[in-house]
Amino acid sequence: MHPVFNQIESEMKRLFFTLLTVVLCLTGNAQESSADSTLQKKKASRLSVGGYGEANFTRNYFSDHVSRYSQPEEHKNDPSNGRFDIPHAVIYLGYDFGQGWKFGTEIEFEHGGTGIAYEKEDEEGGEWEQETEKGGEVELEQFWIEKSFASWANIRAGHIVVPVGLNNAHHEPLSYFTVYRPEGENTILPSTWHQTGVSFWGRAGDFRYEAQFLAGLNADQFTNTGWIHKGHKSPMEFDVANKYGVALRFDNYSVPGLRIGLSGYYGHSIGNSYPRNANGVDAEYKGVVAIGAIDFTYKAHNWIVRGQADYGYLGDAEQLKYVYNRLNSKSPYKHSAFVSKNAYAVGIEAGYDIFSQIQSLRQKAQQLYIFGRYETYNPYASKTKGTAYDYTAVQRMAFGFNYHPIRQIIIKGEYSKRYLKKLYNDEPSVSVGVAYEGFFL
């Protein structure tokens, strides 16, 4: 063979072995990186860290005076007022111990602060009061240990969310169009409703179900303008459990894109306070709280539609004014007037993603929903002992936008207006907000 060809053959062999060595090295590194990545994922999968938060601005074009309902004519032309707020900033922490055992907790910072706050009590002549809500406005919203036996059988014990109504079951800021949480449910029900108890839940086929056993609500915290909204709170270092309650929820996913939910609550509330009074109204009456709710969410064809209807009943409502702790002016409980026997909230909202029709934005996964919402609610739907608070009957309309530059971030804007009965002034407002929601690990 010619020397030139021998030299070429030698160079080709050297090049081949060099390339083979490089390939083997790269393969080894790739396998090592893959193993490391798998290990990291396994380690990370045990710990989950996430949360959500929102920052909002609102301009109210109606009076913020304490007598705007008792003397509406005098405040018809009052100046507008504005506010910045951080309604919720939440940190999720969870850990998977293995063998079906899990831990979860949620710490919530409400309105950006802690400690005791001052507020004007409209129903008490505009008096300034110190408001204490379970250690201020930093709350342990969830804290539970869970054992999973199968997808259809899980037991969770600790401080848990009570999924009664659409808002409590889906309360994160990406789960509703409005800048603030849906107003009707947020007025008449605790939001977010969380209590200590035990839950059994699971999913079988197209059905998800949950049953909870809880401490009862505290009738001392019920009000004429908020019904049972603050009934799950306790000014003590513990939740009083003289009385008990149960909550149920069923969700069906049979139709693609559609979820339909039914939920309810039943429990006793009078006498579920500290100190427990063995005499009088506290011992004689139960204060039954019964709630039924239906809700749905539809997501398909670039539309999102959500709706809910809630109806509540409070037994012995006319007796609440005479409960011992409500009569005692030095107690930390509410001392307002009568509470309604019934309350309701109905709402529906629909939004369409107009970016779905623009290919360049659709490819970037950006979304812009234009939405409208209507709701009607009343925390004082019954005239207890002939009393009436007609300003509590509200119809509200809102329209605006939700812009998602990425999936976990949302920028909201809306114009809304509350329509009250003819005697009172309607309440228009403009709000904008920014929020995030997601898991970091």
- pLDDT (tens digit per residue) in 84-126: 999 999 999 999 999 999 999 999 998 876 656 566 666 556 6
Q: Is the pLDDT of residue 219 over 70?
A: yes
Q: Please report the pLDDT score of residue 178 as a whole number.
A: 98
Q: What is the DSSP letter of 316?
A: T
Q: Are the C-beta atoms of 307 and 348 separated by less than 8 Å?
A: yes
Q: Please report the pLDDT score of residue 132 as a whole number.
A: 55
**Hey, where are the domains in the chain?**
3-439
Q: Is the pLDDT of residue 136 over 50?
A: no
Look up tokens 């081949």; give the residue.
16
Look up tokens 């393969």; give the residue.
27
SS3 call for 176: coil
Q: Give the side-chain half-sphere CA count within 13 A for 60.
A: 14
Name the nearest CA neighbour of 163 among 119, 204, 195.
195
With cut-offs at 50, 70 and 90, classify the pLDDT of residue 265: very high
Domain 3-439 of CATH type 3.30.750.80: no
Q: Is the pLDDT of residue 202 over 80?
A: yes
Least confident piece of the model among 50-59, 159-168, 276-285, 409-418 = 276-285
Please give the structure tokens belonging to residue 232: 């799950």
The torsion angle over the Cα atoms of residues 163, 167, 171 and 177, rounded to 10 degrees, is 160
With cut-offs at 50, 70 and 90, classify the pLDDT of residue 7: low
H/E stretch holding 185 reads: helix 183-188
265-286 average pLDDT score: 88
- pLDDT (tens digit per residue) in 369-387: 999 999 999 999 998 888 8
140-169 average pLDDT score: 97
Can you name the residues that pair with 264 across neighbouring β-strands? 248, 292
Q: Please report the pLDDT score of residue 120 as a whole number.
A: 61
Task: Give the start-end residues of each E strand in 285-426.
Answer: 288-300, 303-314, 342-353, 367-378, 394-404, 409-419
Q: Please report the pLDDT score of residue 20 as a whole number.
A: 37
Dump the DSSP string for 256-295.
TTEEEEEEEEEEE-TT-SSSPP-SHHHHH---EEEEEEEE
Cα separations in angstroms, 411 against 128, 236, 414: 35, 38, 11
Q: Please report the pLDDT score of residue 126 as a whole number.
A: 66
Q: Please report the pLDDT score of residue 138 as a whole number.
A: 82
When mean pLDDT is compared over 42-46, 289-293, 357-361, the highest value belongs to 289-293
With cut-offs at 50, 70 and 90, classify the pLDDT of residue 133: low
Q: Is the pLDDT of residue 403 over 90?
A: yes
Q: Is the pLDDT of residue 366 over 90?
A: yes
Q: Please report the pLDDT score of residue 279 as a whole number.
A: 80
Q: Is the pLDDT of residue 217 over 90?
A: yes
CA 151 to mean position of chain CA atoms? 24
Q: Are the C-beta atoms of 313 and 241 separated by less than 8 Å?
A: no
- pLDDT (tens digit per residue) in 13-56: 454 444 334 333 333 333 333 333 323 334 457 999 999 999 99
With cut-offs at 50, 70 and 90, classify the pLDDT of residue 281: confident
- In terms of phi and psi (left: phi > 0; alpha: psi -120 to 50; beta: otherwise), the region of 13 is alpha
